[in-house]
A and B are shown apart, each in its own frame.
Chain A
Amino acid sequence: RFDNGILLLSTHRLIWRDQKNHECCIAVPLSQIVFIEEQAAGIGKSAKIVVHLHPASSNKEPGPFQSSKYSYIKLSFKEHGQIEFYRRLSEEITQRRWENMPAAQNVQVNKSPQVRRIRAVGIVGIERKLEEKRKETDKNISEAFEDLSKLMEKAKEMVELSKSIANKIKEKQGDITEDETIRFKSYLLSMGIANPVTRETYGSGTHYHMQLAKQLAGILQTPLEERGGIMSLTEVYCLVNRARGLELLSPEDLVNACKMLESLKLPLRLRIFDSGVMVIELQSHNEEEMVASALETVSEKGSLTADEFAKLVGMSVLLAKERLLLAEKMGHLCRDDSVEGLRFYPNLFMTQS
């Protein structure tokens, strides 16, 4: 295995030497290279260079493999150096200095110069196109990065300014009306700056969120009725965004809007269970009453898991579990928590006391 080594580039060859066993040294003549491409690093993956090669000639020098089904090799840069190496290797391949200088050592002279040239013509065309395309992409990207950096500088100024304003609001330097406070919050929203006063990126209650809350009340009325009066916030997120198609809501937009439902006296409200699960309920919905009917259902069956209860009643497992937990909290059910799963029984201590 060629795992741990050092890669060397000369005008004629690409050489790899094993870091532990210095005797182990393999090489590929640069003349064998058709073209090279980069593979960016990713999570758990190192940056690589893929080297596409001509088919090996019949009188190639002995090496680790006589033949291979692949027409390329991959160089994996576990630590660093990929960017630089790629640049240098590209240069050497473009300059083709090996053609002009015969190497001092045993270099394979495997074809007559004529044959080699014929092959090279077709390849050179492809190489050139790829190179042009790469240069164009690189230029676009570096221009984009430049523009992005300039943009970020300006954005940074906005952040500084907003901090200064927030400090002044805190120390009451100047009279800011409530209207102006709302304006400030909407500026922060536009820029994506966390509200420095409350330290929340959400819960900032702008006009936008008020409007959104009213919209939601309209959109969700029927779906809620169809689902027994209660939906988890993730269900709402998916439902609303699928309906929109464009100009989607961010999760924070949704949460911010829902936090305003009650204060705007809309017919829905946001509720947060002990587990952290967030739901939207119709105002007319009474989860505690639902608990009573849940108790009946569980009693009929003797005992139920959240899965079983969900199937029986036609609810999502998530909400079914929350209802059973609430019933337990209210003392109507008790649990049997085993490796088989969490099962709920009517709380006979209550009913039989």
Chain B
Amino acid sequence: LPQAKYKERGTVLAEDQLAQMSKQLDMFKTNLEEFASKHKQEIRKNPQFRVQFQDMCATIGVDPLASGKGFWSEMLGVGDFYYELGVQIIEVCLALKHRNGGLITLEELHQQVLKGRGKFAQDVSQDDLLRAIKKLKVLGNGFGIIPVGGTYLIQSVPAELNMDHTVVLQLAEKKGYVTVSEIRSSLKWETERAKQVLEHLLKEGMAWLDTQAAGEPQYWLPALFTELYSQEITPEEAKEAIP
């Protein structure tokens, strides 16, 4: 007698669905190959298209960047694009860490990465950087994305930054620095709480203290110094980046 393939209720068994999935997977691979042959360039060249692509994947519950072995990565080349970007981001952050304590604006990171990639490399957008950074988090190096003003600060060190720290960073973003009085008046905090947060940022090297400022001491974020934006990464700093 042939083995009963179905339970009483007539539901399909897992192993049969697995066989079905295997077949559908092969078909999907073919569809993807076809898509790639027509539109691979579009993804490479068009940042807007990349955003659309990523959003659609997210909507249906698929992560095209999860693995270099995934179909998306292999056939569309999206993987290599973002994983290489990840390497470049890590190197820039390492090189500049001693200047900014491991906090850098998305703008500056973008500029430095573009410089590093050279004139003839594929253009990358800020959205691309954010997606690459989200993937890097899993390496445990403390990569984080902090929304400030209309943009983001990228953290690349395992320093613990809680809500209090984040809120003060956001306050400091407007002028590049913040004072205890500003924190007290804007956030309605006690002096002690403000000082604790600022001291933590000082210790981590993410803030510098200007005691000579008129009035009261100012806590500056080197990550926000616009004068430093176009400063090249020095050879010594570059060495630090690739140990």
Q: A residues engaging B (CB < 8 A)?
A: 40, 42-44, 140-141, 143-145, 147-149, 151-152, 154-159, 161-162, 164-165, 168-169, 173-176, 180, 183-184, 187, 189-194, 201-202, 208, 227, 232-235, 237-238, 241-242, 246-255, 272, 275-278, 316-318, 337-339, 341-342
Q: Note all chain B residues with C-beta closer than 8 A to A168.
A: 13-14, 17
With both chains docked as a complex, state the minimum distance between the C-beta of A278 and any C-beta of chain B, in angstroms. 4
Q: Are B25 and A278 in contact (CB under 8 A)?
A: no
B179 to chain A minimum Cβ distance, whole angstroms, is 16
- Shortest CB–CB separation between residue B194 and chain A, in angstroms? 14
The contact string, 1 if C-beta is below 8 Å from chain A, for chain B 137-159, is 11111100000011110000110
Q: List 25 A-B contacts (CB under 8 A).
A: A44-B149, A44-B150, A141-B49, A165-B21, A169-B14, A174-B14, A180-B18, A183-B22, A187-B18, A192-B63, A192-B70, A232-B141, A233-B140, A238-B90, A241-B84, A247-B80, A250-B65, A250-B83, A251-B139, A275-B158, A276-B142, A277-B141, A318-B158, A339-B209, A341-B205
Residue of B nearest to A274 (CB): B158
Excluding A191-B25, A339-B209, 4 further A-B contacts by CB distance (< 8 Å) are A151-B32, A152-B59, A193-B63, A278-B139
B137 contacts across to A, CB distance below 8 A:
251
CA distance A340 to B31 in the complex (A): 59
Asked whether, in the complex, the Cβ of B203 is within 8 Å of the Cβ of A242, the reply is: no
The interface-forming segment of B50-58, B116-124, B161-169 is B50-58
- Given A151-B35, A187-B25, A250-B79, check contact A234 B141 (CB 8 Å): yes
Taking CB as reference atom, which chain A residue is nearest B81? A248
Is B210 close to A, CB under 8 A?
A: no
A189 nearest in chain B by CB position = B67
Distance (whole angstroms) from the CB of A148 to the closest CB of chain B: 6
Bound Cα distance from A275 to B31, whole angstroms: 44
Report A-chain residues with C-beta under 8 Å of the C-beta of B21: 158, 161-162, 165, 184, 187
Partner of A248, one of B49, B84, B139, B150: B84
Q: Say how far A136's CB is from chain B's closest CB, in angstroms.
A: 13
Q: Check B68–A249 contact: CB distance below 8 A.
A: yes
Let me know if B15 and A248 touch, CB within 8 A.
no
Shortest Cβ gap from A201 to chain B (Å): 5
The residue that A252 contacts in the complex, of B32, B60, B72, B135, with Cβ under 8 A, is: B135
Interface check B69, CB cutoff 8 A: yes
B47 closest partner in A (C-beta): A40
Number of residues of chain B lying within 8 A (CB) of chain A: 79
Partner of B69, one of A40, A208, A255: A208
Q: Given the known A-B contacts A141-B42, A250-B83, are A175 and B15 also in contact in the complex, defined by CB atoms under 8 Å?
A: yes
Residues of B within 8 A of A147 (CB): 35, 38-39
| Interchain CA distance A338-B203 in the complex, whole Å | 7
Hey, which bits of chain B sit against chain A, CB under 8 A? Answer: 7, 11, 13-18, 20-22, 24-25, 27-29, 31-32, 35, 38-39, 42, 46, 48-49, 52-53, 56-57, 59-74, 79-80, 83-84, 86-87, 90-91, 97, 106, 125-127, 135-142, 149-152, 157-158, 199, 202-203, 205, 209, 242-243
Specify which chain B residues have a CB less than 8 angstroms from the CB of A233 in the assembled complex: 139-141
Cβ contact within 8 Å between B87 and A155 = no
Of A43, A145, A174, A238, which contacts B150 at CB under 8 A?
Answer: A43
The 8 Å CB contact of A144, one of B39, B87, B135, is: B39
Q: Which residues of A contact B61 (CB under 8 A)?
A: 156, 159, 193-194
Evaluate contact between B24 and A158: CB separation under 8 angstroms: yes
Q: Which 6 A-B pairs have the closest CB atoms?
A: A174-B13, A44-B150, A278-B140, A168-B14, A248-B83, A174-B14
A277, B136: Cβ atoms closer than 8 Å: no
Given the known interface contacts A176-B14, A187-B25, the answer about A246 and B7 at a Cβ–Cβ threshold of 8 Å is no
- Pick from B18, B70, B139: contact of A165, CB under 8 Å: B18
User: Cβ of B151 and Cβ of A43 under 8 Å apart?
Assistant: yes
Interface centre among B46, B57, B67, B203 (most CB of A within 10 A): B67
B97 CB contacts on chain A under 8 angstroms: 317
Using Cβ atoms and an 8 Å threshold, which residues of chain A touch B62?
A: 155, 159, 191-193
Q: In the bound complex, what is the Cα–Cα distance between A144 and B40 (angstroms)?
A: 10
Closest beta carbon of chain B to A248's beta carbon, Å: 4
CA distance A282 to B34 in the complex (A): 44
CA distance A314 to B35 in the complex (A): 49
CA distance A141 to B70 in the complex (A): 24
Chain A residues closer than 8 Å to B202, beta-carbon distance: 339
Point out the residues of chain B lying under 8 angstroms from A201, CB to CB. Answer: 63, 66
Residue of B nearest to A307 (CB): B98
B141 touches A248 (CB 8 A): no
Which residues does chain B contribute within 8 Å of A193, judged by CB atoms?
Answer: 61-63
Residues from chain B with a CB closer than 8 A to the CB of A152 are 56-57, 59-60
CA distance A67 to B68 in the complex (A): 56
Give, as a whole number of angstroms, the nearest-CB distance from B57 to chain A.
7
In the assembled complex, how far is the CB of residue A57 from the closest CB belonging to chain B, in whole angstroms? 38
Contact of A191 among B18, B70, B151 (CB under 8 A): B70
| Shortest CB distance B11–A (Å) | 7
Bound Cα distance A275, B57 (Å): 32
Judging by beta carbons under 8 Å apart, are B22 and A164 in contact? no
Report how far A176 CA is from B15 CA in the complex, Å: 6
- The answer to whether B22 touches A149, judged by C-beta atoms less than 8 angstroms apart, is no
- How close is A336's CB to chain B, nearest CB, in angstroms? 11
With CB as the reference atom, state the residue of chain B lying closest to A190. B71
Contact pick for A161, options B24, B67, B141, CB 8 Å: B24
